[in-house]
Amino acid sequence: MMGKVKPFQFYNESRITTFTGIKANSLSSMYKGIHKVSEESIFFHMHQCYFRPHFSPADNMNDFARWIWIHIGEYSITEKLAMVDPFLCDSVRECRKKLLTYLKDYLGGGAFIPRVSRDKEFYFLESKSFIYPAGFEAKNLNEFRKCIQLSAINSIFYHMISSRMRYGHKINDYSAWLSENLSENEKAERIAHINLFSSNLWDIRDRILVILDGK
Amino acid sequence: MNNEIKKYESLMGKGEINEIISLAKELGPVKIQNINSTKQGGGVAELLISTIPLFQNLGFDVSWDVISGNHSFFEITKKFHNILHGIHIPINPQIRKKYEKNVKANYEIISDDADFIIIHDPQPLPLIMKRKDNGTKWIWRCHIDVTEGDKRLIGYLRQFIDRYDCSVYHLPNYTFSSFHDEYIIQPAIDAFTDKNRDLSDKEINKELDRYEIDPEIPIVLQVSRFDKLKNPLGVIKAFQKVRDVGVSAQLILAGGEADDDPEGDKVLERVEKKAQKNPDIHILKSPPDIAVNALQRSASVIVQRSIREGFGLVVTEAMFKGKAVVGSNVGGIRKQIIHGESGFLVETDEGTAYRIQQLLTNPELNEKLGEEARKTVIKNFLMPNLVKNWILLFLSLKHDGRKGAVRLGMSE
């Protein structure tokens, strides 16, 4: 084990949603919207699926792809947008660029662009986040497991997803701490390799617990 | 301490409740005043009755006041309500004057020292004209779907709405495109009232006996007022199609009478006529909450065939009881049901019949969707979720609506 253990401080990231005032009723207005909205809005729509309880992987796609799939019914562009993995993007800016490139290519291909009725429009939302101590910390593996089990879903979101994207960390907070403070490299590695792209936060927490139990 | 909110730990988990308690501490003690137009009946009153004890339990000073008005004032606000729902009724400048004059007569109920004043729905909206420069943040909470509302009336109300610090809506579709921040907060249900609490078999059977419902025949249920927008006639049509293919079932339509819908009486009359001809259809007028709870728990399929639906808490209530709901693909119903995962979204009577039949004849699928439905509600639509969102909104206003992430309670 390496030197003195620095306790792991658990944080929550609680989010409230606001409407940006921008909406889309077709692929071209979706393109314009993605171009125009804030990075917070792109971040919101790329990650909202992690908060959606579901048991079918078909529903597990970012909000842009999901809307096109359900309301526009253009499957080829849906597939392309669904494959934009935010964890393979270095920044939200890069994510936006990828989305826009796919949409631009599709729109440039001369496809017929249907419009949806008013009640099926896409509303660009964004969230205001508050990051604050969850009120507990862990100094060893046993405490760490207990804290994970006790964590709110928003805490899992912060440590596994948000802090990486916001602060450009290469690895999630849990893996970094397990490796640097407890030398639990194997567990750290396995947590780092959980496929976030096809999971929701409840599943992610369950998988972390299984790994911490050494199963 | 925190006993009211901690009741929810068994449903939502300790972590989710601790998050709310921590957030409340971050906000600190604040004084909140709610103002609406009635203490009895209606969704707003129901929400306030359930949320206020939770806020108080978290250490906030919360009050609830009601504006008074004469019969003519409430006639006007009912007209506004109907116009905002898309019914065409002319409004002249005299009516607007009467409305403003009545609200003005209520200025004395405004708290002088509240940190936040929440005005619910259009009735007390012009109270904002009495706003003082004392640091109080004013929030307008709109509980209705105005997507089909008359643009002239919306334009008139905007002059008041824009003076608020922010407004809050169930869904982004219902926003007014105001100049200030528009927050999206979904409503929620109270898991411990007669409407939603767990019932024993004895309690359920007692309610079924009271209405002479045979529990051996699968129940298809819609709980809603008898008005055009709730589409009970569409439910009857769909049910008849299910019976036509030989699937055994009984239909129960339960709900109150629509006192604010001019066409409500006609709808009820037609529904009753249809029911008289078909012994498989039961009409239950204004059953008490515990009976609705028992019916929902006994139902094999719950339907919500509304033409429009602000949010549809009745769908939330059904889903909380582990029921797969066949709901119209509109408004808040669409927000709650994930098609094929936690229920079914439908567009037509035929689609409704198809899904009812599917659920009645495939109990495994029915159970699987029902389980997912209950999880959805527990994760998103119970009272503590609503309280959490309000605390976040207050924090956001306290931080002057700063965009992006705000770090609290720690050194940067």
- The pLDDT score that the predictor gives to residue A53 is 65
- Tell me: the pLDDT tens digits for B314-331? 999 999 999 999 999 998
Shortest Cα distance, chain A CAs vs residue B390, angstroms: 9
**What gap in Å lies between CA B302 and CA B8, rounded to an integer?**
25
Q: Taking all residues of chain A, what is their mean pLDDT, rounded to a whole number?
A: 90
**What gap in Å lies between CA B282 and CA A35, rounded to an integer?**
54
Residue A11: DSSP 8-state: E
Closest CA to A2 of A181, A188, A189, A144: A181
Pick from A40, A126, A132: CB nearest B410: A132
Contact B19 A18 (CB under 8 A): no
Residues of A in Cβ contact (< 8 Å) with B386:
none
User: Please, are residues B285 and B192 in contact by the beta-carbon 8 Å criterion?
Assistant: no
> If phi over 0 gives left and psi between -120 and 50 gives alpha, with beta otherwise, what is residue B32?
beta
**What gap in Å lies between CA B257 and CA B392, rounded to an integer?**
37
Residues of A in Cβ contact (< 8 Å) with B368:
55
For helices B289-298 and B313-320, give the axis angle rounded to 10 degrees: 60
Quickly state the pLDDT bin for B201 (edges 50, 70, 90).
very high
- The pLDDT score that the predictor gives to residue A51 is 83
User: Please, are residues B130 and B162 in contact by the beta-carbon 8 Å criterion?
Assistant: no
Q: What is the ipTM of this complex?
A: 0.91
> Is the pLDDT at A158 greater than 80, yes or no?
yes
- The pLDDT score that the predictor gives to residue B260 is 54
Pick from B172, B341, B407: CB nearest A59: B341
Q: Which residues contact B183 (CB under 8 A, 6 or more apart)?
A: A16, A17, A18, A19, B166, B167, B168, B169, B389, B393, B396
Shortest Cα distance, chain B CAs vs residue A100, angstroms: 22
**What gap in Å lies between CA B401 and CA B382, rounded to an integer?**
26
Least confident interval from B176-185, B343-352, B389-398, B399-408: B399-408
Residues of A in Cβ contact (< 8 Å) with B403:
38, 40, 126, 128
What does the pLDDT average to over B260-286? 85
What does the pLDDT average to over B52-81? 93
User: Please, are residues B49 and A185 in contact by the beta-carbon 8 Å criterion?
Assistant: no
What does the pLDDT average to over B220-231? 91
- The pLDDT score that the predictor gives to residue A54 is 57
- The pLDDT score that the predictor gives to residue B411 is 44
What does the pLDDT average to over B303-323? 94
Contact B404 A12 (CB under 8 A): no
Residues of B in Cβ contact (< 8 Å) with A53:
342, 372, 375-376, 379
Closest CA to B221 of B132, B327, B126: B327
* Amino acid letter for position A144: F
- The pLDDT score that the predictor gives to residue A2 is 54
- Tell me: the pLDDT tens digits for A29-44? 999 999 999 999 999 9
Q: Which structural domains are found in chain B, ordered by start?
A: 3-188+382-398 (3.40.50.2000), 201-380 (3.40.50.2000)
Q: Taking all residues of chain B, what is their mean pLDDT, rounded to a whole number?
A: 92
Least confident interval from A168-177, B122-131, B250-259, B302-311: B250-259
- The pLDDT score that the predictor gives to residue B147 is 84
- The pLDDT score that the predictor gives to residue B412 is 39
* % of chain B beyond a pLDDT of 70: 96
- Burial class from Cβ neighbours inside 10 Å (0-12, 13-18, 19+) for residue B81 reads middle
Pick from B15, B169, B173: CB nearest A155: B15
Closest CA to B254 of B235, B275, B226: B226
- Tell me: the pLDDT tens digits for B78-136? 888 888 878 888 888 999 999 999 999 999 999 999 999 999 999 999 999 999 999 99
- The pLDDT score that the predictor gives to residue A214 is 87
CA-based nearest residue in chain A for residue B343: A54
Residues of A in Cβ contact (< 8 Å) with B19:
12, 14, 134, 152, 154-155
- Tell me: the pLDDT tens digits for B389-412? 999 999 999 987 667 788 887 643
Q: Which residue has the tokens 């509240």?
A: B114
Shortest Cα distance, chain B CAs vs residue A128, angstroms: 5
Domain boundaries in chain A?
14-126, 134-212
CA-based nearest residue in chain B for residue A125: B172
Contact B19 A16 (CB under 8 A): no
Quickly state the pLDDT bin for A57 (edges 50, 70, 90).
low
- Give me the half-sphere count of Cα atoms (radius 13 Å) on the Cβ side of residue B9: 14
Q: B332 or A110, which is more confident?
A: B332
What does the pLDDT average to over B356-374? 97
Shortest Cα distance, chain A CAs vs residue B183, angstroms: 4
Residue A155 CB neighbours (<10 A)? 25
Shortest Cα distance, chain B CAs vs residue A16, angstroms: 6
Q: Give the three-class secondary structure for A38.
A: coil
